[in-house]
Amino acid sequence: MPHTPLHQFVRPRQRKHAREMRRIATDAERKIWLLLRDRRLDGFKFRRQVPFGPYILDFVCFDRKLVVEVDGGQHADSQADKVRDAHLQASGLRVVRYWNTDVLKNPDGVLTDLLARLAAK
C-alpha cells in the first residue's frame, strides 16, 4: 500500500465493502476503469473503490490528489455528496463528477476533460 500523507487507517469492514464494490461495478464504472487502469491515461496511476476516511472513492489519482466519481441520477443535487465533497476537499483532494451516461456515450469527452484536470494539478 503506498505511503502518502493522504492515506488513512481503513477498517476491515470498510475494506471488505470496497472489495465488494469492485466486484459489482456499474457499466459506467467498468467502462472508465478500462480506460484508466494500468496507467493507460497518459501514465497517471489510478486506483478504484478506495476506502478514504468514512468514504469509498470510485477512482483516485493520489499523485494529482484527484478523485473521480461516476454518478447516476440518484446523485442529482445530493446534499450527502456536497458534504462528502467538502470533507474530501478539506483533506486536500479535488473532486470531479461525471454522469454514467457521459462515461458510456462520450468517453472521449470525459477523458479529455479529465486530462485537463490532471494537468491543472
Dist CA 121 CA 118 (whole Å) = 6
For residue 61 the three cell numbers come to 489519482
Cell of 75: 446523485
Query: E-assigned strands of the chain?
Result: 47-52, 55-61, 66-71, 94-99
User: What pTM was computed for the model?
Assistant: 0.82
Residue 75, pLDDT score: 52
> For 81-114, what is each residue's pLDDT tens digit?
999 999 999 999 999 999 999 999 999 999 999 9
- What 8-state DSSP symbol labels residue 43? T
Could you give the domains of the chain? 12-113 (3.40.960.10)
Name residue 25's amino acid.
A
Residue whose C-alpha cell is 472513492: 57
